[in-house]
A and B are shown apart, each in its own frame.
Chain A
Amino acid sequence: VGHVVLAINGAEVNGRFTADGKDVLEFLGNPANYPVSIRFGRHRLSSNEKLMLASMFHSLFAIGSQLSPEVGSSGIEMLETDTFKLHCFQTLTGIKFVVLADPRQAGIDSLLRKIYEIYSDFALKNPFYSLEMPIRCELFDQNLKLALEVAEKAGPFGPGS
């Protein structure tokens, strides 16, 4: 329940169709295609859903710092659940970088700062990227992916472990 098909035999699935245009239900209905390996998982968020959730978080962040009994609260820096940790870094300009990670993952602070650098390089220095719009810059994606890989390798005990 709440899960969808993410991939069939390794090929990613988007809605009812695979990347090469096969209809998933048709494919699964044909015994000639068995054995078949199916990857299930939680539904991946669409861009619009991400935008909505992000703006909700933005409001919660503001509420968080207003509720704080101390003056000059930094706002929500971390949200911990049993399955993930949400880390948030707010820049002096009000931009928030949010990372969702395994609760035991270390090195997220430096990852957040690295992402700030990647944003200032590959998004902002791309003159064709308009501020406040979703970032659809390949170099940004590539470098972000690299940074995530580095952070993941660091594992639960930080880099060098």
Chain B
Amino acid sequence: QNSELFTLTYGALVTQLCKDYENDEDVNKQLDKMGYNIGVRLIEDFLARSNVGRCHDFRETADVIAKIAFKMYLGITPSITNWSPGGDEFSLILENNPLVDFVELPDNHSSLIYSNLLCGVLRGALEMVQMAVDVKFVQDTLKGDSVTEIRMKFLRRIEDNLPAGEE
């Protein structure tokens, strides 16, 4: 099962958004929004199939995301690095990103965060398990960096609508 169709589909999506919206910032926002809508659904598939239990701390969450979720959906296992002293921030380092196979960013789209969909997915998925997080790309091979780095920061536990028994 090759991922060309996937890469091409994602590319078509991004280029269409670039045509529809006039600036990169708006495209980034749309990608994040679409990702969020995917994330809130994908989390159930993930939980139903992987059978992981509730994570006790953000470190466990990081492990689950990198070793199980990324593996399951993108076939890659990013490494986890750069933990903040408080244990509330870490980075995912992606050696390769299936979304950007064959992609080159043109000069007129220098502020475009091509894979921003991923940030939305992670944000949406974690929100459904009561974690508010901030997710952003800090390095991108598309922009000439040597690796792609996603920074994830734990903001707060979402207290409203807690599943019963979780207080």
Residue numbers of A with Cβ under 8 A of B are 61-62, 64-66, 68, 72-75, 90-95, 113, 116-117, 119-121, 124-125, 131
Contacts and interface: CB of A to CB of B under 8 A. Distances in A.
Contact of A93 (B163, B164, B165, B167): B163
Contacts of B162: 94
B161 A120 contact: no
A65 B165 contact: yes
B164 A91 contact: no
Given A92-B54, A92-B129, A73 B165 contact: yes
A90 B161 CA distance: 13
22 contacts: A62-B164, A66-B164, A72-B166, A73-B164, A73-B165, A75-B163, A91-B48, A91-B163, A92-B53, A92-B54, A92-B129, A93-B47, A93-B128, A94-B161, A94-B162, A95-B44, A119-B44, A119-B48, A120-B45, A120-B47, A124-B41, A131-B41
Given A75-B163, A93-B128, A125-B41, 15 more contacts: A61-B164, A64-B164, A68-B165, A72-B165, A73-B164, A74-B165, A75-B165, A92-B47, A92-B54, A93-B47, A93-B163, A117-B48, A120-B41, A124-B41, A124-B44
